[in-house]
Structure 1
Amino acid sequence: MDIRLATLAIIAINALVSIKGFNDSVFFDRYKFQVGPISSGQKDRMFTSGFLHVDVGHLFFNMFTLYFFAPVIIGHLGVLTFLIVYLISLVAGSLLSLLFHKNEPYYSAVGASGAVTGVLYAAILLQPDMRLGIMFIPIPLPAYVLGIGYMLYSIYGMRHQIGNIGHSAHFGGAVGGFLVTLLFAPQVFLRNPLIVLLMAVPILVLFVMERKRSR
């Protein structure tokens, strides 16, 4: 399977499941991420919710991001590892969401954001010299700078519940992508140890915050 076909296959699955959800509220409600039903035994929601989206804009943004960053992982590590990064990041996003919202039975979410964020962070680790543009900043910034900033913003968003955004899924997905990439490509640490350590800082920050909160 070539790079483009692998990426398009994931996009097609997301599109088909999401379109089904757009037109079938019973289907959407049954397979979305929701803490209460998951706690009652419907664990499949932690996986299926990653292929549902609330609208076309939500679907397009996630798939647009995936289309540009998936080839970086496939080019470095191959199709199978890309699929592993994607799926582990998806589940990691759901697990962190469940951890942070375990006492909120009506909390619900959908979207491939966790999986896509994991792909983004894996791509940054593999190719940290990438430069990414962002609105209102005229000069493209190094990818790892934006990656670290986004993770810190996600921690802030989780703690303060900013907007109708699944910050915990984004962060969990990023952690999943980070760890799986180091597992399959430990050489990235030897090539760019400082960048890897810098990208680990937000993970340590969240760990310390959660230890304090749980005491």
Structure 2
Amino acid sequence: MTLSISIIVITCLISIPAFNNGKMVDDLSMWPYMVKERNQYYRFITSGFVHADFMHLGFNMLTLYFFGSAIENAFDLLFGSKLYFLFFYVLALILSDTPTFIKHRNHSYYRTIGASGAVSAVVFAAILFDPWNNIYVYFIPVPAIVYGVLYLGYTIYMSRSENRDGINHDAHLWGAVVGILFPIVYKPEIASYFLEALLAGPGRR
């Protein structure tokens, strides 16, 4: 079983029982106020293993299923071990929620759940490695780089918008940043490869 499949299984085993268990969600969610007041730093990780409902869980886990194994194999090839994928995923969970913690650490009412930040990191790592690969949005093929630019633009706009929709867009945004920077920090030449692939255009990968 691959690491990404293992993460999906564990996430489902935790998330599904939590759907109708408010106490479980409270205990595991990213609750910035509780992190600050009671040093419950584990919430940076556990919040990524609980979801609001089947749609929320399904979207994140399907996305991880389609992109996770490819990034896992890429990290194995580049860094010599698939364990880098596990480190990458956990780091993305933590760093994608860090701006949320800073912003809401004094707001006792604010809580957020879901693996979207880490999943966003996986997707953007995939875009970095293959910018002209197609990503299917409602069954419509969209070049990965185009999807990435539109996604970042929308996420930045929504994270600054006063019209909150209940989605933690900050986690999506900073997860994407982790997905781009993590591989480049470990292998700076990946940035050159990305630019070459981008300039080569579609069909010339």
TM-score by length of 2: 0.85
What is the CA deviation profile of residues 19-40 of structure 1, one whole-angstrom value per residue up to 9, with x for unaligned ones? 2312432221111111211111
AA of the residue aligned to 2:108: P
AA of the residue aligned to 1:156: Y
| Structure 1 counterpart of 2:23, from 18, 21, 26 | 26
AA of the residue aligned to 1:47: I
Q: Which residue of 2 aligns with 1:39?
A: 36
Structure 2: runs of 5 or more not aligned: 77-81, 199-205
Aligned length: 191
Q: Which residue of 2 aligns with 1:119?
A: 122
- Distance in 1, matches of 2:171 and 2:69, equals 22
Does structure 2 retain, via aligned residues, the 8 Å contact 1:72–1:126? Answer: no
Q: Which residue of 2 aligns with 1:11?
A: 8
What is the CA deviation profile of residues 52-111 of structure 1, one whole-angstrom value per residue up to 9, with x for unaligned ones? 001111111100000001122122112212112211111111102112333433111100
Alignment of 1:97-136 (within 5 A): 97-135=100-138
- Distance in 2, matches of 1:102 and 1:148, equals 30
Tell which deviates more after alignment, 10-19 or 72-81: 72-81
Q: Which residue of 2 aligns with 1:58?
A: 56
Tell which deviates more after alignment, 16-25 or 112-121: 16-25
Does structure 1 retain, via aligned residues, the 8 Å contact 2:95–2:178? Answer: yes
Structure 1: runs of 5 or more not aligned: 197-215
Q: Which residue of 1 aligns with 2:194?
A: 192
- Distance in 1, matches of 2:99 and 2:14, equals 23
Tell which deviates more after alignment, 46-55 or 16-25: 16-25
Residues 39, 110 of structure 1: alpha-carbon distance in 2 compared, 3 angstrom cutoff: same
Q: Does 1:148 align with 2:145?
A: no
AA of the residue aligned to 1:160: S
- Distance in 2, matches of 1:195 and 1:49, equals 36
**Which 4+ runs in 1 deviate beyond 4 A?**
none
Identity of aligned residues (%): 36
- Distance in 2, matches of 1:129 and 1:85, equals 23
Q: CA offset at residue 163 of structure 1?
A: 1.0
Tell which deviates more after alignment, 114-123 or 14-23: 14-23
How large is the RMSD of aligned CA atoms in angstroms?
2.0
Does structure 1 retain, via aligned residues, the 8 Å contact 2:130–2:194? Answer: no
Q: Which residue of 2 aligns with 1:67?
A: 65
